[in-house]
Amino acid sequence: MARLLLRDLAQVATPAADGPVARGAELRAVAVVEDAYVLCDGESVRGVGRMRDLPAVDGDVEELDCSGLCAVPGLVDCHTHPAFGGDRVVEFSLRAGGASYEELHAAGGGILSTVVATRALSGGELEARVRRHAGWMLAHGMTTWEGKSGYGLDRETELASLRAIRAAGGLPTWLGAHSVPPEQPDADAYLDFLLAEVLPEAAALADAADVFLERGAFDAARARRYLEACRGAGLALRLHGDQFTESGAIPLALELGARSVDHLEATGDAGVRALGGSAVAAVLLPSSALFLDRPMPPARALADAGAVLALATDFNPGSSFTTSLPLVASLACTQLHLAPEEALVAMTLNAAHVLGATGAGRIAPGSRADITLLDAPDWRYLAYHLAGDVVSAVVRSGAIAFRR
């Protein structure tokens, strides 16, 4: 099997927690090895240590001189919407002039305008779009990513979205309950259609299901109906919750044993306490709050309450047109008041946990050989170099997948 030796690294930084997830004090525990090597063997890490302790490696080994670079685990984006046609640049301009995201949505713009553009694509064209977006993600250091459907809202386009995400290397989540499309009489009729006509095949293509639980989208009773049916079909559960209003997403997530509740910009003290003591992850999306000029989620309070925090881009054309987890790391430190250590753990180990991506999210013997190399003397440049070209190269499954 092919071996790859990353040598003379300035630092290797990895979550220190031994378990599958980090919370409380472990959320800020990052182990750093200076003047280091990482040896990859096939798709796994074989060893990590100081250069002076590098054992003799004989046989066929590709060596990469990593002087001046730092290694962190391949970044994990656990929340993206990459399967879409068109763009929302006109809407972006209108918002710059003062129009609100919710008003545009209510007027049939927003998500539904992307639905029209996505339905117009062939399956091949949609896959090409997702592959293009996956290339952007890789260049920002992501080696594992989740992608949601939700811009088809009909059988053919929802299933094509899930297939395109898998084909492009992502982990598909079925977001059938994103919005009610115009051809459906109401939300209940749309759910009847989704569960009878789309769920059986979506369950075979996706890993998880997600719902937009919000004023103007799906209420808690309808979200429960959708999620219970999806759970019954074997899917893990996610929720878009508390983005604009607290509408019952956290209690529902806890009750159903969801993997995560995502957004949480509107979450108050009771929600913070509930997530602090639960296994449901809080996925924070600060680039979305920034892009929409909305309040930031209560990240510090969630971390201090012991919540399982993850960070993601929410990449989509309307509310977060970015694929940069390094930018999200910067926002986590400057806007969410998290430490760089907390930001790193939240977008590696904890994000991998949200996706059930075992072995991803750390650099340790036996972990996946997924490594992001930073052009920096200190790994914290990941967050410090605001919008910088900090990613120098990416190793995925033990092979160099990207080089700047």
Chain residues binding ligand NIG by CB under 6 A are 81, 110-111, 114, 212, 240, 243, 288, 314, 316-319
Residue 297 binding result from ligand NIG, Fe ion, none, given CB thresholds of 5 to 8 Å by partner type: none
- Name the phi and psi angles at 392, rounded to 5: -90, -40
Smallest distance from ligand NIG to CB 81, Å = 6
Coil vs helix vs strand at 209: strand
Which of ligand NIG, Fe ion, none lies near 243, with the C-beta cut-off 5 to 8 A by kind? ligand NIG
| Closest CB 314 distance from ligand NIG, rounded Å | 5
The option from Fe ion, ligand NIG, none interacting with 319 (CB < 5 to 8 A, set by class) reads ligand NIG
Minimum CB–partner distance for residue 378 and Fe ion (Å): 32
Instruction: Output 118 or 392, the one with its CB closest to ligand NIG.
Output: 118
Answer with the entry of ligand NIG, Fe ion, none that 212 interacts with (C-beta below 5 to 8 A by kind). Answer: ligand NIG
* Residue 93 vs 358, nearer CB to ligand NIG: 93
Residue 260 binding: pick among ligand NIG, Fe ion, none (C-beta 5-8 Å cut-off by kind): none
| Nearest residue to Fe ion on Cβ basis | 314
Structure tokens at 181: 């499309």
CB 176 within 8 A of CB 153: yes
Contact call for residues 267 and 246 (beta carbons, < 8 A): yes
Whole-angstrom CA distances from 88 to 84, 117, 179, 332, 359 are 11, 10, 17, 25, 36
Rounded Cα distance between 310 and 281, Å, is 7
Q: How far apart are the first and last CA of the chain?
A: 26
Q: State the minimum distance, in angstroms, from the CB of residue 151 to ligand NIG.
A: 7
Minimum distance, C-beta of residue 33 to ligand NIG, in the bound complex (Å): 37
- Specify the residue, 193 or 218, whose C-beta has the smaller distance to ligand NIG: 218
CB contact at 8 A, 98 and 89? no
Cβ atoms of 211 and 231 closer than 8 Å: no
Burial 242-263 (b: 16+ CB within 10 A, else e): bbbebbbbbebbbebebbbbbb
Considering the complex, what minimum distance in angstroms separates the CB of residue 331 from Fe ion? 16
Q: Tell me whether residue 114 or residue 372 sits nearer to ligand NIG (CB atom).
A: 114
